[in-house]
Chains A and B, each alone.
Chain A
Amino acid sequence: MSPPSKQNFILMAEDDADDRLLAQDALAESGLPAELRFVENGEELLDYLLLRGKFSENFAAPRPRMILLDLNMPRVDGREALQRIKQEPSLKCIPVVILTTSRSDTDVERAYNLGANSYIAKPVRFDALVGVMKTLRNYWFEVVELPAAR
């Protein structure tokens, strides 16, 4: 089976429906074209990326350009998912940005130790969230170079 194709979208792992909505709205408000797809927890994220579980038959599960990862999720939380992704040879080149409410130093240090590309603490106010989404989109879609899709 050939590896799935890569497409220009952001895959977000977020368990909270409100946060998903806010993220969607914020990205839309930022005014830059970008697609946001969601998975609800770490297990689903891994299933998607590894084409297993409910995505095993889904040959149309393309690789995202980047992953936005919340840390506190049920079943498999963001920390575990991050570790798995960064250990998996076929997945570790995908940029993973942690977007979480936790500001604790322990979480920040651990995330970077596990190989996260960036760590952003979710802002409280909505307009700040819009700014974050805008920055993310600009940075990861315009500024940086990413490995070419194989």
Chain B
Amino acid sequence: MNALSAQRPDALCGSPSTDIVAMRRMIFAVAGCLFLLLAVLAWNHFQDDKWFNSWTSVLGAGLLAAGLGYSLFALIGLEKWRQDCVGELARSAQKSSSLQARFSEVSSREAALAHERAALQQRVAELEKAILSLQEKSKKRRLDEMVSRQRQQELVRSKNVLEMHVQERTEKIQRLQRRYSMILNSAGEGICGLDADGRATFVNPAAARITGWDVNELVGRHIIEVLDLKTNGAAPGCDGDQVLRRKDGSRLAAECIYTTIVEQGMPNGAVLIFRDVTERKRAEATLAHKAAELARSNAELEQFAFVASHDLQEPLRKIQAFGDRLKAKCESVNLGEGRDYLERMQGASARMQRLINDLLSFSRVYQRTEPFSVVELDCVLREVLSDLEVRVEATNAQIDIAPLPAIEADPTQMRQLFQNLISNALKFQPPNQKPVVKITCRGFEADGSLAPEIPAGTPFCEILIEDNGIGFEEAYAEKIFAVFQRLHGRAEFEGTGVGLAVCRRITDRHCGTIKASSQPGRGARFKVVLPVKQFKRNQMT
């Protein structure tokens, strides 16, 4: 305890330190005496209860008083010293604290400075690094700049080139546009481009002209409504023949073609093209009218032919009949040449009857026609031969037939054709000769040279009818097909000379041909060429 308390004032106060030590010792001495006294007193007290008995007590009291005085003095001086000391202490404490503070301040400042210095150093290092990197960056930047300047130059060059190209393209596009505009504007048909709602986005001048509107009056409007066109049910279009309404309300026959524009699989508008077909309709109407007239004329002609033949035949009948009556009535009378004249008259009228009948059948080739159907020529031939059976047997004729194909033809006319040809073959024979008739056939394909509408490769069949009869001069090969043309007198062979003319008419109607070739005394060959299938245009006859 002592050591400690001694150290502290040394540490804190400088010169008054010895004073303080002395004081302290004094204090302690006094304090010790006092204590002793007190102890004696206490013991006394305990021994017996007398205060003022012995010298101890007086000593004690004197000590006590001295002690008290010293102590008091000490205490006062102590107090003063204490106060000084305290003050000094306080001051020195203050000083020391201030010193400490300054010291700490300084040290802290030093630390801070060191810190800062370190930081600065770090910063310097960083900055140096940064500088380096910046330098690098700036180098790089310069390089980049160079590169980008180069690129820019390149780009500028490219841009110039592109601009040139664009210019060219634009010019080309403009030319094309002008061309298309020209085409659309020159088109005779009305052309409208429609959007998905059916409103016109484009209308060409012809459309305006045809409909009586102006182009700008039509653009943006719903064309189908404006023109009052009929749509085809579910489909949005209005294809086909229409009657469109012009601006002034008048109607115009037009042919419309409606085409939907499909973009990426979706319908997106349409193109409507229409054409004024008034002329065509008029032509069609005229054609229909003419066709009707023709039909009527044909019917009248047929009627006329029938009636004419009927009425023409009637007087002939009378001539025949009354000729017979005359003959009967005058049987017993000798008429002399009269009878002969009568016979000639009757013969003449009979011939006239036959002529009229033949003329009628000649005109009927085109009048009385059946529609074309598939005809088995073998069948036809068999029927014709059976019709001619009597003649064949009577002359003991030999008929050789090869298989014939089936072709598209008028059945009745085929019969007529074969009938005429074969009966001719049997008729024009020298007397008492056995007629031999050969019928053969071969198929071939057209080589394109027959007629423009007959393409190469069209199948035809060629039927050859040969006989061993009297034949004729080659010079007459065409003449014999003329109507009423005969090469022989009435006395030699009967007939009106219309049979071959009918055959030619029949082959003409079937778009085929018939040709004859012969030598006198060497029989005749008739070549009939017919198409296997009939042509479209012929189907309508």
Chain A positions near chain B (C-beta within 8 angstroms): 16, 18, 22, 25, 101-102, 104, 122, 124-127, 129
> B313 and A126: CB pair below 8 A?
no
> A124 and B325: CB pair below 8 A?
no
> B324 and A125: CB pair below 8 A?
yes
> B321 and A126: CB pair below 8 A?
yes
User: What are 26 A-B residue pairs whose CB atoms fall within 8 Å in the complex?
Assistant: A16-B314, A18-B318, A18-B321, A22-B318, A22-B321, A22-B322, A22-B325, A25-B325, A101-B313, A101-B314, A101-B317, A102-B310, A104-B306, A122-B317, A124-B317, A124-B320, A124-B321, A124-B353, A125-B320, A125-B321, A125-B324, A126-B322, A126-B325, A126-B328, A127-B324, A129-B321
Which residue on A lies nearest to B350, using beta carbons?
A124
Residues on A with C-beta less than 8 A from B306 are: 104
A102 to B310, CA, bound (A): 8
Residues on A with C-beta less than 8 A from B324 are: 125-127
Which residue on B lies nearest to A18, using beta carbons?
B318
Residues on A with C-beta less than 8 A from B320 are: 124-126
Please give the distance in Å from A10's CB to the nearest CB on chain B.
19
Residues on B with C-beta less than 8 A from A102 are: 310
Residues on B with C-beta less than 8 A from A104 are: 306
- B350-376, CB < 8 A from A: 353
Which residue on A lies nearest to B329, using beta carbons?
A25
Query: Number of contacts between A and B (CB, 8 Å)?
Result: 31
Residues on A with C-beta less than 8 A from B353 are: 124
Residues on B with C-beta less than 8 A from A16 are: 314
A16 to B314, CA, bound (A): 10
A129 to B325, CA, bound (A): 11
Please give the distance in Å from B190's CB to the nearest CB on chain A.
54
A12 to B321, CA, bound (A): 19
- B254-293, CB < 8 A from A: none
- With A124-B353, A126-B328 known as contacts, the answer to whether A101 contacts B321 (CB < 8 A) is no
A101 to B314, CA, bound (A): 8
- B52-94, CB < 8 A from A: none
Count chain B CB atoms within 10 A of each CB in A16, A18, A126 and give the residue with the most: A126
Contact with A along B294-322 (1 / 0, CB 8 A): 00000000000010001001100110111
A18 to B322, CA, bound (A): 9
Residues on B with C-beta less than 8 A from A127 are: 324
Which residue on B lies nearest to A22, using beta carbons?
B321
A101 to B316, CA, bound (A): 12
A114 to B307, CA, bound (A): 22
Residues on A with C-beta less than 8 A from B310 are: 101-102
Task: Given contact pairs A22-B321, A126-B321, enumerate 14 new A-B contacts (beta carbons under 8 Å).
Answer: A18-B318, A18-B322, A22-B318, A25-B325, A101-B317, A124-B317, A124-B320, A124-B353, A125-B324, A126-B322, A126-B324, A126-B325, A126-B328, A129-B321
A104 to B318, CA, bound (A): 20
Count chain A CB atoms within 10 A of each CB in B313, B314, B321 and give the residue with the most: B321
Which residue on B lies nearest to A127, using beta carbons?
B324
A135 to B325, CA, bound (A): 20
A101 to B312, CA, bound (A): 12
Residues on A with C-beta less than 8 A from B313 are: 101
In the A-B complex, list the 8 residue pairs whose CB atoms are closest, starting with the nearest. Answer: A126-B324, A126-B321, A18-B318, A124-B317, A124-B320, A22-B321, A126-B325, A125-B324
Please give the distance in Å from A113's CB to the nearest CB on chain B.
20
Residues on B with C-beta less than 8 A from A129 are: 321
Residues on A with C-beta less than 8 A from B314 are: 16, 101
A102 to B321, CA, bound (A): 17
Please give the distance in Å from B323's CB to the nearest CB on chain A.
8
A127 to B328, CA, bound (A): 10
Please give the distance in Å from A71's CB to the nearest CB on chain B.
11
A126 to B306, CA, bound (A): 24
A127 to B322, CA, bound (A): 11
Which residue on A lies nearest to B315, using beta carbons?
A18
Which residue on B lies nearest to A104, using beta carbons?
B306
